[in-house]
């Protein structure tokens, strides 16, 4: 199946996809900042350049897009109809890289949280996700993964 837009338009569209300071990430940062948490952003000194680094809690947070990082059983984790072999390889590479980075961080003594984009799509979910994450930061748990179904209502 051919692409529905020309090559230049597709290139411009793909160039517009940002890797940091995305809307879900910004929403989570605002919600955590209001709760009194202070953090570093995208440090080159921490493997994987996590979105948020809480040095005080020895914890890092990744805000993953459901599409790009393949959130399991998520309605936003769709497969493009064009060039499925390319996309499958790309997604597999992303998932393997995420897993490797997570293991490296845990081995280095960091606590790791993954917050999925679907948990940050609605204002009430943002607050619930921030509450879950703040509870996790204050606990001793090593890992947490927060998706749409995990964002508990308050």
User: What was the pLDDT predicted at 154?
Assistant: 46
Name the CATH architecture for the domain at 20-150. Answer: 3-Layer(aba) Sandwich (3.40)
Does the model's pTM come out above 0.75? Answer: yes
Give the chain's largest Cα–Cα span.
Answer: 51
Tokens of 6: 């020309």
Task: Classify 30 in phi/psi space as left (phi over 0), alpha (psi -120 to 50) or beta.
Answer: alpha
User: What was the pLDDT predicted at 55?
Assistant: 96
User: What was the pLDDT predicted at 63?
Assistant: 95
d(CA 45, CA 154): 36
pLDDT tens, residue order, the chain (154 aa): 567 778 888 777 766 666 677 889 999 999 999 999 999 999 999 999 999 999 999 999 999 999 989 999 899 889 988 888 999 999 999 999 999 999 999 999 999 999 999 999 988 899 999 999 999 999 999 999 998 876 655 4
Antiparallel, parallel or unpaired: β 143-146 and 40-41: unpaired
Structure letter (DSSP) for residue 4: S
Instruction: Write b or e for each residue in 18-31: b if 16 or more Cβ atoms lie within 10 A of its Cβ, otherwise e.
Output: eeeebebbebbbeb
């Amino acid at each position: 199946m051919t692409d529905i837009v020309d090559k230049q338009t597709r290139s411009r569209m793909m160039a517009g996809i940002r890797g940091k300071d995305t809307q879900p990430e910004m929403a989570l940062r605002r919600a955590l900042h209001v709760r009194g948490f202070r953090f570093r952003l995208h440090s080159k000194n921490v493997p994987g350049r996590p979105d948020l680094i809480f040095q005080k809690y020895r914890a890092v947070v990744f805000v993953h897009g459901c599409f790009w990082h393949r959130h399991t059983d998520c309605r936003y984790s769709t497969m493009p109809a064009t060039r499925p072999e390319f996309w499958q390889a790309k997604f597999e590479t992303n998932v393997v890289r995420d897993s490797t980075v997570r293991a490296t961080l845990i081995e280095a003594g960091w606590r790791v949280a993954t917050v999925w984009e679907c948990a940050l799509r609605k204002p009430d979910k943002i607050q619930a996700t921030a509450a879950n994450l703040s509870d996790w930061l204050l606990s001793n748990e090593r890992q947490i993964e927060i998706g749409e179904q995990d964002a508990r209502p308050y």
